[in-house]
């Protein structure tokens, strides 16, 4: 199984998908030419617009974006995919449309067989057992919160250490610890912006310039750095 799970698409002041594009290229390699793109997290703009936006960046690294919504038979598109790319946006809408089109098991089977999977933000949430650690609103009701279950841990993308100035509500850390009060048997990783997790077989690494925060019930939160042993997450 090969996964590249990216926290965010865009760093402040940079073009869309600019910072991770060469990491995506390195991950996908030279043999892949076409990527099956799932734009279902897009809300407020068309799936065609979303696919075109991703294509502009993927052209720079040598890949064609093949949007799944163009297919009458989406299951067949998944089965024939060279690589699967899942964009960010609204995680609830993403999961709902994947479920409605009966794609959960097809995508999961394809990735478990070795087809590369790239996701950012909501696309990273989709690789988890559930989408219960997404940050997203509005909430659009899927059939269930169960996602692709490709990994055994939950990701909280865009992880922030502090609240914005003037906001006195719970921090992200407090929210995730509340999640663990009612989900006591799972790790949650706070994946800061500019970082990504790469999984290849039994190898898992953190890539980026920042550490990653690890949460588990009845344990003190702790930080892991790029290069640290993350095998406990597998």
The pLDDT > 70 percentage for the chain reads: 100
Q: What pLDDT does 168 receive?
A: 73
Number of structural domains the chain divides into: 1
Task: Give the CATH number of the domain where residue 70 resides.
Answer: 3.40.50.880
138 burial type by CB count under 10 A (0-12 exposed, 13-18 middle, 19+ buried): exposed
In a domain, 117, yes or no: yes
The DSSP H or E segment spanning 125 is helix 122-125
Is 54 among the domain residues?
A: yes
Starting at the edge strand found earlier in the chain, the sheet holding 222-224 runs: 154-157, 188-191, 212-215, 222-224
The residues assigned a catalytic role are 121, 136, 158
Say how many residues make up the chain: 234
CA separation for the pair 90, 215 (Å, rounded) = 24
So what's the pLDDT on residue 170?
87
- Domain assignment present for residue 167? The answer is no
Give a yes or no: residue 112 inside a domain.
yes
Rounded to an integer, the average pLDDT of 30-53 is 97
Q: Mean pLDDT over residues 111-131, rounded?
A: 98
What dihedral do alpha carbons 18, 212, 147, 59 form, nearest 10°? 10
- For residue 166, is it within any domain? no
Residue 25, domain member (yes or no): yes
Average pLDDT, integer, range 83-95: 98
Q: Which two tokens stand for residue 187?
A: 């790790």
pLDDT of residue 112: 98
Query: How confident is residue 167, by pLDDT bands cut at 50, 70 and 90?
Result: confident
Q: Does residue 168 belong to any structural domain of this protein?
A: no
- Residues 68-84 have pLDDT tens digits of 999 999 999 999 999 99
pTM, entire model: 0.96
Residue 160 φ/ψ, nearest 5 degrees: -115, 140
Q: Does a structural domain hold residue 64?
A: yes
Give the domain extent around 24. 2-158+189-210+223-233
- At 21, list the tokens: 């594009």
């Amino acid at each position: 199984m090969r996964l590249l799970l990216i926290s965010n698409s865009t760093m402040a002041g940079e073009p869309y998908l600019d910072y991770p594009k060469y990491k995506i290229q390195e991950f996908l390699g030279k043999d892949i030419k076409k990527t099956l793109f799932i734009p279902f997290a897009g809300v407020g703009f068309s799936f065609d617009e979303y696919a075109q936006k991703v294509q502009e960046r993927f052209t720079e690294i040598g890949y064609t974006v093949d949007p799944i919504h163009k297919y009458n038979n989406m299951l067949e598109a998944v089965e024939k995919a060279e690589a699967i790319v899942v964009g960010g946006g609204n995680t609830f809408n993403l999961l709902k449309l994947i479920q409605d089109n009966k794609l959960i098991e097809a995508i999961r089977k394809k990735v478990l067989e070795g087809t590369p999977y790239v996701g950012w933000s909501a696309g990273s949430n989709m690789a988890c057992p559930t989408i219960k650690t997404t940050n997203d609103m509005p909430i659009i009701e899927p059939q269930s919160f169960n996602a692709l279950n490709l990994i055994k841990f939950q990701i909280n993308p865009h992880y922030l250490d502090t609240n914005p100035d003037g906001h006195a509500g719970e921090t992200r850390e407090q929210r995730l610890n509340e999640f663990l009060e009612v989900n006591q048997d799972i790790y949650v990783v706070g994946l800061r912006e500019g970082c990504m997790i790469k999984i290849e077989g039994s190898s898992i690494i953190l890539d980026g310039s920042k550490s990653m925060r690890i949460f588990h019930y009845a344990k003190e939160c702790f930080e892991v750095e790029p290069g640290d042993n993350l095998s406990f997450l597998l």
